[in-house]
Amino acid sequence: MSAQLPNEARRVALAGLQLADSSLPIGRFAHSNGTERWLSENPSASSTELEQLVSVSLTEAIAPLDGAALNAAHRAETATELLELDALLTAHKSASASRAASQSCGRQLAQLAQRLVQDELLTDYCALVDSRQSEGNLAIVEGVLARATAIPAEMAVLISLRSAASGMLSAAVRLGRLTPSLAQVSLRTLAGSVDEATTIALATKVGEWHSTAAELEICLLASGREEISFFAS
């Protein structure tokens, strides 16, 4: 076996692929981010309509809040700054299902991250998450981890938004409403939306965070009250 390290570009690409990997064990599969509820309320929705839902969620809800938060976390210099961003992000999440999903996945990623890379800021921030002084929202943890593994902010935001889209589509697959191959076709079709959402996330400053996909927000506010639910959110 060669002891040589991969070159820088490949190393960054590998780190990015790992962050994007759906097998990352952080509980993403248990959350549909409102998709389940939306599907049950739209029993005859086509794959095109589902794509529209994902697209609007990305550009109106996820990018200007979680995407923007990830970008800010990537740039933060101290654990205190991260703690403040974390609290601000929690305050912007009005739906408790959305808060729970974000924090449960984020805390798991924070635990895993410390085994993947040695980084002072990451260690300090994860200690705050571990002691529950900081909430550990997924976007914040992703931002810190991305920076620690030299993934540029733009790529990290792109990866995160793409994971969100893919998570919504795979929820539809697991509920039997979309075939796995059609989900891949949709993901491809959604490339433009992921790109646009990335631009929005990078341009949204800390004071401007917002999340306004009304339809999905209503689904998230209502989820948990659903009598039969396969996903936690």
Residues in contact with other proteins by the rule CB under 8 A: 23, 25-32, 104-105, 107-108, 132, 171, 174-175, 228-232
Answer yes or no: are the C-beta atoms of 143 and 74 closer than 8 Å. yes
Question: Residue 210 CB, nearest distance to other proteins (Å)?
Answer: 28
- The rounded distance, in Å, linking the Cα atoms of 164 and 170 is 10
Q: How far is the CB of 7 from other proteins (least distance, A)?
A: 31
CB of 30 to other proteins, least distance (A): 4
For other proteins, give the closer residue by CB, 60 or 86: 86
In angstroms, what is the minimal distance from the CB of 61 to other proteins? 21
Q: Cβ closer to other proteins: 41 or 226? A: 226
Nearest 5 degrees, angle CA 186-CA 74-CA 70? 40
CB atoms within 10 A of CB 127: 14
What amino acid occupies position 123? T
Of 72 and 183, which has the nearer Cβ to other proteins? Answer: 183
What is the nearest approach in angstroms of other proteins to the Cβ of residue 105?
8
The dihedral built from the CA positions of residue 65, 23, 136 and 155, taken in this order, carries a sign that is negative
| Residue with smaller CB distance to other proteins, 170 or 186 | 170
Q: Which is nearer to other proteins, 214 or 230 (CB)?
A: 230
Residue closer to other proteins, measured from CB, 114 or 229: 229
> Min. distance of Cβ 26 from other proteins in angstroms?
5
60 contacts: CB under 8 Å, gap ≥ 6? 211, 212, 213
The residue (of 105 and 144) whose beta carbon lies closer to other proteins is 105
State in angstroms the smallest separation of the CB of 181 from other proteins: 18
